[in-house]
Amino acid sequence: MGVVKFLKFLRLKLRGRRAAERVAAVDIGGEGDVGDVVCYKFKGEGAIVYAWEEIRKFTMDFSTVIGYGGFSTVYLAKLSDSLTTAVKIQFRCTQRLNEAYKQELEILLRINHPYIVKLLGYCGEDREEGTLILEHAVNGNLHEKLHNSISNLSWRRRMAIAFQLATAIDYLHQNCIIHCDIKSSNILLDDQLNCKLCDFGSSKMGFASLVVSSNSKSRAALLGSPGYTDPQYMRTGLASKKSDVYSFGVILLELVSGMEALDPLSGERLTARAAPALRDMEKVVELVDPRLKSRGDFDWEEPKAVAEVAATCLSDSPAHRPSMSDVLIALRKGVSSISYLV
């Protein structure tokens, strides 16, 4: 049975099982509300509240910058001799940025997953800056490893990251959270090159989907990252779990090909460049990263299986895309390289 048919079969099979797993219904009010939905229990752990002066000392007066975001700066910090962390300073100069910070903090306080960056603490003072203390992923992010580094991620490691990311997204979806900005630069890598999904500033919690305001400035601020964003989301402003599934499909192509989601020179999307291979799986060999070809340490059937999963994730209609639970099962079935993780 092919992966596509297998996914369709799983969709029907899992529908009944999910109904039995649901534990509570919540009503989320406010703009963009879509009514009552079913949510899952959270398994988050507490984080420590720090004073600003303590955070300043942890960072040695914010002396070492380790990263930048659109509206944030990340600093290296030491909470103790044995614990190095990352301190994210989020600017809150507008209502939207303030809401994004509060949303990210609320989500991180509620969740706990091995492949999602862990919140260790935050600043409890009412300041213009929002401050999050996060576990430090020493190997940077996936985008750097794939595109800006001489190091060569093996096929097995790439597939491990894909599987771990799928596990993290599935966990979010089962807890009624849509990430809304899945991209390789938001996939941090720890000392063992394990996935640590981060950046929940655009995420939505407590509902199955979100209608973005028709205001053009508001919509532009919420529509994710070029090359990764679901075209349906771009057209309608309606985000759903299937928007994350689409972005995950782009990540799969990025891992297989070693190419960026958006070509920095031509501006061409990876989904367009990969389209011939996704229509004819015999052409997938042309898509595979040359660095992987030179290693030759993988089964050539696996890139085809991954490309087939990516193709379903990238379906034009969200209704035709698999759930992340379906994706996990398909990856287990088609990629033996991750058998040690299952």
Q: Answer whether 251's CB lies under 8 Å from 162's CB.
A: yes
- Is there a binding annotation on residue 88? yes
Residues 6+ apart with CB under 8 A from 339: 332
Catalytic, out of 170, 181, 199, 289: 181
**d(Cα 252, Cα 237) in Å, to the nearest integer?**
24
The total of other beta-carbon atoms located within 10 Å of residue 298's CB is: 19
Helix 324-334 / helix 155-174 crossing angle, nearest 10 deg: 150
Q: Comparing C-alpha atoms, which of 68, 67, 86 is closest to residue 76?
A: 86
At 279, phi and psi to the nearest 5?
-85, -30
**d(Cα 187, Cα 194) in Å, to the nearest integer?**
9
Helix 270-279 / helix 241-257 crossing angle, nearest 10 deg: 80
Question: DSSP letter string over 297-316?
Answer: -S-THHHHHHHHHHHHHT-S
Residue whose structure tokens are 């103790």:
80
Q: Comparing C-alpha atoms, which of 63, 75, 53, 69 is closest to residue 101?
A: 69
Hey, what amino acid is at 335? V
Active-site annotation holds for 181? yes
The catalytic residue positions are 181
Annotation: binding site? 88
Annotation: binding site for ATP? 88
